[in-house]
Chains A and B, each alone.
Chain A
Amino acid sequence: MDRVPVLKIGDMLLVSIQVDLSDRLASQLQEDLADRIVATGAHGVIIDITGLDIVDSFVGRMLATIATVSRVLDAETVVVGMRPAVAITLVELGLALKGIRTALDVDRGIALLRDLRAPVDGAPAGDDEAEQAPAGVS
């Protein structure tokens, strides 16, 4: 009720906004996400806004700020699930959401984050797999 839950899945954080966001709740989410990125070392953030029936300038700014802050903390943000009517309204409002990556749904968001990560990491996709490698070499 007081907070939007942030879930950790692998090296990604998933936020699914299912409540009507007050400005206070939006600001709280912004802070929580930055904390969780640092605490978990997550490299990707997916924000699902399927449940939002509007995105006004305050929430739009929150999404842009989260994207920028997460990038500084070595994580990429993808906003997924924007409704068509919300997209039309956002553009007319004057918010182009430049600098925010979007995908149509969570699956595509995850795929996008993996693609973004792949060329940088090269072979070792994550620490877990690197530790398992010696077993196969012997």
Chain B
Amino acid sequence: MINAEPVGPAESLPIEVDDDVVRVRQLVRSAAVATRLSLVDQTKIVTAASELARNTLIHGGGGRVEVQSVTNGTRRGIRLSFTDEGPGIADVDRAFTDGFTTAGGLGLGLSGARRLMDELDLWTKVGEGTVVTAVKWER
């Protein structure tokens, strides 16, 4: 479990079409700027958000993202939660493997996002959907 208390209201966006992925990037960027993440960390969280939003769209058949400012008592951060009600992931270990893809991509989405974020949790159930929750903390 990720230890992160919400600070202020969350913002949420649907991920149903290609252009929604662009909107998710823009929302996450403004949250990263507001939390005063460094430029490199802003770039990392926006890139991770882009990968995870594309997963929600392509593998999950669409869903939502929730962007929440959080704190662990000492540091501020941003929590991203991507939720879909798609087919779920049958083999989680393989889904986290670099280069493993079921959609003809590079297979870097989930594994790459985990490297770019500080924490990443995945809940999935075949036939029910997938929730990916990830946090980037300020340095």
Residues of A within 8 A of B (CB): 20-24, 53-58, 60-61, 83-86, 88-89, 92-95
- With a cutoff of 8 Å between Cβ atoms, the chain A residues found around residue B21 in the complex are 22-23
| Cα(A21)–Cα(B25), bound, Å | 11
Interface residue B50 (Cβ < 8 Å from any Cβ of A): yes
- With a cutoff of 8 Å between Cβ atoms, the chain A residues found around residue B18 in the complex are 22-24
Interface pairs (13), CB distance under 8 Å: A20-B25, A22-B21, A22-B22, A53-B29, A54-B47, A54-B50, A58-B105, A84-B40, A85-B42, A85-B43, A89-B40, A89-B43, A93-B116
Could you tell me which residues of chain B, from 78 to 112, have a CB within 8 Å of some CB in chain A? 98, 105-106, 108-109, 111-112
Interface residue B44 (Cβ < 8 Å from any Cβ of A): yes
The size bracket of the interface on B is: 20 to 34
| Interface of A (DSSP majority class) | helix
| Cα(A112)–Cα(B52), bound, Å | 36
| Cα(A88)–Cα(B105), bound, Å | 21
Give the distance to chain B from A2, nearest Cβ to Cβ, in Å.
Answer: 12
Interface residue B46 (Cβ < 8 Å from any Cβ of A): yes
- With a cutoff of 8 Å between Cβ atoms, the chain B residues found around residue A55 in the complex are 47
Residues of B within 8 A of A (CB): 18-19, 21-22, 25-26, 29, 39-40, 42-44, 46-47, 50-51, 54, 98, 105-106, 108-109, 111-112, 115-116
Q: Decide if B40 touches A85 in the complex (CB within 8 Å).
A: yes
- With a cutoff of 8 Å between Cβ atoms, the chain A residues found around residue B115 in the complex are 92-94
- With a cutoff of 8 Å between Cβ atoms, the chain A residues found around residue B44 in the complex are 88-89, 92
CB closest chain-B residue, reference A58: B54
CB closest chain-B residue, reference A64: B106
14 extra interface residue pairs, beta carbon distance < 8 Å, beyond A55-B47, A57-B106: A20-B22, A22-B19, A22-B22, A23-B54, A53-B43, A54-B25, A54-B46, A57-B108, A88-B43, A89-B40, A89-B43, A93-B47, A94-B108, A95-B108
